[in-house]
């Protein structure tokens, strides 16, 4: 399954092409995409820094860290720390283990989707930050460092990469993105397999035009609070 992200179209299933169909060797992906990321980051940084600082101070009130860095797999398999405003309680890992042990249905949901609809680790402010995607603003630092792009496949942990199977090369050909097809396509309501197909499809259609379209759609998704 693939998805049409052209202007004025919904995400329509289409035929998935092989590696030769991906535009990972295009001039835009090799050079232009990085230039676009840097220019956009420089423009947005003065606006985003006060917001990031304010959110950091609010989250710090419980005594924990304001930022949370999680190891993700980047372009060509390089591991990097993906930064976010912390949205979970300080003993998040222990709380997750205990919750899954006590709730078999939640354990199945976690094994299937790597996320929970009702996650006991999320703080009240964290729920708001996730719904609005404001927790991801610090990733502009990852963009500046060249570890991420504004638009690309969703960043995954090593265990998730295994779920891509033979399609993992599509993911590894690009820098993970702050946003992408999944983020603007009802991300809470799609299966993991569909999310993988969305990442593969992006690798086929990547261009400046499509990146701008996805960034504009991301603005609407943030306003509609479709995150989690």
- Position 113 scores a pLDDT of 75
User: What dihedral angle (degrees, nearest 10) is formed by the CA atoms of 113, 162, 30, 42?
Assistant: 40
Residue with more model confidence, 23 or 191: 191
Total domains in the fold of the chain: 1
Residue 171 belongs to some domain of the structure: yes
CA distance 207 to 28: 6
Look at residue 96 and tell me if it is in a domain: no
Residue 2 inside a domain? The answer is no
Residue 121 pLDDT > 50: yes
Q: What is the pLDDT of residue 63?
A: 85
Query: Per-residue confidence at 214, pLDDT binned at 50, 70, 90?
Result: very high
Asked whether the CA dihedral 79, 84, 36, 156 is positive or negative, the reply is positive
Structural domain includes residue 15? no
The per-residue pLDDT for 167 is: 86
Quick check: is 57 in a domain? Answer: no
**Domain carrying residue 207:** 63-87+122-224
Q: Is residue 138 part of a domain?
A: yes
Q: Tell me the two tokens of residue 134.
A: 């404001």
Distance, C-alpha 10 to centroid of its chain: 20
Residues 6+ apart with CB under 8 A from 120: 95, 96, 99
Nearest CA among 151, 139, 147 for reference residue 208: 151
Report yes or no on 35 lying in a domain: no
Contact 181, 195 (CB under 8 A): no
List, for residues 153-196, the tens digit of each pLDDT value: 989 998 888 888 888 888 898 899 999 888 787 666 677 888 88
The pTM assigned to this predicted structure is 0.80
Banded model confidence at residue 24, pLDDT cuts 50, 70, 90: low
pLDDT at site 13: 34
**Structural domain contains residue 216:** yes
- Over range 209-228, report the average pLDDT: 79
Q: Looking at residue 39, what is its pLDDT?
A: 97
């Amino acid at each position: 399954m693939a998805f049409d992200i052209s202007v004025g179209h919904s995400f329509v299933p289409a035929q998935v092409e092989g590696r030769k169909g991906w535009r990972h060797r295009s001039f835009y992906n090799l050079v232009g995409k990085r230039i676009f990321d840097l220019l956009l980051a420089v423009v947005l940084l003065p606006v985003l820094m006060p917001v990031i600082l304010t959110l950091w101070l609010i989250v710090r009130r419980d005594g924990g860290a304001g930022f949370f860095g999680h190891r993700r797999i980047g372009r060509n398999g390089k591991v990097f720390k993906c930064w976010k405003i912390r949205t979970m309680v300080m003993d998040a890992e222990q709380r997750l283990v205990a919750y899954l042990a006590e709730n078999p249905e939640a354990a199945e949901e976690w094994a299937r989707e790597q996320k929970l609809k009702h996650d006991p680790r999320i703080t009240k402010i964290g729920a708001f930050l996730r719904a609005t995607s404001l927790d991801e603003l610090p990733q502009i630092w990852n963009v500046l460092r060249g570890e991420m792009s504004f638009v690309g496949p969703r960043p995954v942990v090593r265990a998730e990469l295994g779920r891509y199977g033979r399609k993992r090369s599509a993911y590894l050909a690009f820098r993970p993105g702050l946003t992408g097809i999944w983020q603007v396509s009802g991300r809470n309501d799609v299966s993991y397999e569909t999310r993988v197909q969305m990442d593969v499809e992006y690798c086929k259609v990547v261009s400046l035009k499509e990146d701008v379209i996805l960034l504009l759609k991301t603005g609407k998704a943030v306003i509609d609070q479709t995150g989690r």
